[in-house]
Amino acid sequence: MIPNQWYPLVEAQEVRNDKPLGVRRMGQDLVLWRDIDGNLVCQGARCPHKGANLGDGRMKGNTIECPYHGFRYGADGACRAIPAMGAGARIPGSLRVPTHPVREQFGLVWMWWGDERPAADLPPVAAPPEVTDNRKLYATKRWTRPVHYTRYIESLLEFYHVTYVHRDHWFNYIDYLLLYGTPSKFGLDGRERYLAATRITNHRVETEAEGQTIRYSFDHCQEDDPTNTTHYVITFTFPCMVHVQTEQFETTSWLVPIDDRNTEHILRWYEYEQVKPVLRIEPLRRLLPWASLYMEKWVQDPQDVRIMEHQEPKISAGGVNKFIPVDEMNAKYLSMRAKLLADASAPPRPAPEPAPAGEPAPQPAPAQDGTGRDGTPARPPASGGGRRPAKAREDATARP
């Protein structure tokens, strides 16, 4: 799990002011609630008294009440009442729960997981224009799967597995008929075209200047029939967002770590542009995204998960996969993830001592052991894959 990032937890509409919502994310039990003015609160869910889960508790005005002994905690985490000690009791300052920075954006609740910082120093929630500027209607649903989030993310960063994974369930014929079949044959050639498309061509990976977003475009096609081609654009933004856009559909997934064995998949499915001219009424246009979400949850996604559950090792990282050139997006994701983890764990640089008046500040000599002046690994030359220029460029080959 990458520290110092905003992670989505749930849909904003799930958090109410009349009942707390308990969730588990980042290996921690959390509780979400709103005060009577609607302000959002995210806290550690374990009551420090005897470890009961506050997510099972009740709301009492602007406090959350522990279900075990009625201890009440405010939005700042401090204990406000201990019924067993009476109204005038002196409450120990150690009776408090941790409170996490939280924001509402893009219809989701986001928690800052990382260093404690003043609110003004927290970065904005990262999301690409594909999400921030998207004006399409959508439906959102979430579910839990027993796989590590790195493997889950990998499965959405490439789509050449679909020919082999999504081919046997009878419900997949809806995909074949509506998304891959040709109108001249009333969609009945959909399965044949779906299974024949096995080759990836025109693949290109670009990394944005700030190093948080990767874009991958490619054609998934039938080798001997260029008319049977689906063009994909996959956008990944750290720590866990995957946006997929094709001519047929558009989705955004957030693969949020619950712990090292489980992942919460928050999936947003956008309306189909093909039917927009026909269905003018918004509720009707939302029906198809909702139907697609249920199909994904109960049919398509379980087919992927059955494969992922048997992958070894359970957690993906550099060097554990033998990538081929079309896995360039996967390789880039893992290398950037490793860098973010290293940056988050690196000790802070000490402030330089001021130089005596009138003298220039001394400059440390370059290290001779392959490390930089601050002790971190020295950057390789540009030709070896060092810092990218401000404008993103294509990587030549995939790297394990």
User: pLDDT tens digits for 56-106?
Assistant: 999 999 999 999 999 999 999 999 999 999 988 899 999 999 999 999 999
Residue of 158, 396, 373, 201 whose CA lies nearest to 388? 396
Do residues 240 and 153 lie in contact, with contact meaning Cβ atoms separated by under 8 Å?
Answer: yes
pLDDT for 214: 95
Do residues 72 and 81 lie in contact, with contact meaning Cβ atoms separated by under 8 Å?
Answer: yes
Band (pLDDT 50/70/90 cuts) for residue 380 is very low
Do residues 337 and 240 lie in contact, with contact meaning Cβ atoms separated by under 8 Å?
Answer: no
Beta pairing partners, 395: none
215 phi and psi angles, rounded to 5 deg: -120, 140
pLDDT for 166: 82
Q: Please name the residues in contact with 116: beta carbons below 8 A apart, sequence gap of 6 or more.
A: none
Q: Taking residues 330-338, what's their average pLDDT?
A: 94
Beta pairing partners, 392: none
pLDDT for 310: 95
Residue of 22, 16, 19, 87 whose CA lies nearest to 258? 22
Do residues 310 and 148 lie in contact, with contact meaning Cβ atoms separated by under 8 Å?
Answer: no
pLDDT for 391: 38
CA distance 7 to 22: 16
Which single residue is written with the structure tokens 């080959």?
A: 397
CA distance 23 to 44: 10
Q: Please name the residues in contact with 186: beta carbons below 8 A apart, sequence gap of 6 or more.
A: none
- Torsion angle in degrees (nearest 10) through CA of 198, 128, 256, 18: -130
pLDDT for 358: 58
CA distance 19 to 28: 20
What tokens appear for 321 in the block?
Answer: 């996969």
Residue of 296, 220, 306 whose CA lies nearest to 252? 296
pLDDT for 196: 83
87 phi and psi angles, rounded to 5 deg: -70, -35
Distances, alpha carbon 317 to alpha carbons 67, 292, 399, in Å: 41, 31, 12
Look at residue 51 and tell me whether its pLDDT is greater than 80.
yes
- Torsion angle in degrees (nearest 10) through CA of 81, 85, 88, 91: -60
Whether the model clears a pTM of 0.75, i.e. scores above it, the answer is: yes
Q: What SS3 class is residue 28?
A: strand
Q: Which helix (H) or strand (E) holds 34?
A: strand 28-34
pLDDT for 253: 97
Residue of 72, 55, 51 whose CA lies nearest to 63? 72
Axis crossing angle, helix 149-156 with helix 301-308, rounded to the nearest 10: 130
pLDDT tens, residue by residue, 168-192 = 777 777 777 766 777 777 777 777 8
| Higher-scoring residue by pLDDT: 52, 366 | 52
| Higher-scoring residue by pLDDT: 209, 12 | 12
Do residues 109 and 28 lie in contact, with contact meaning Cβ atoms separated by under 8 Å?
Answer: no
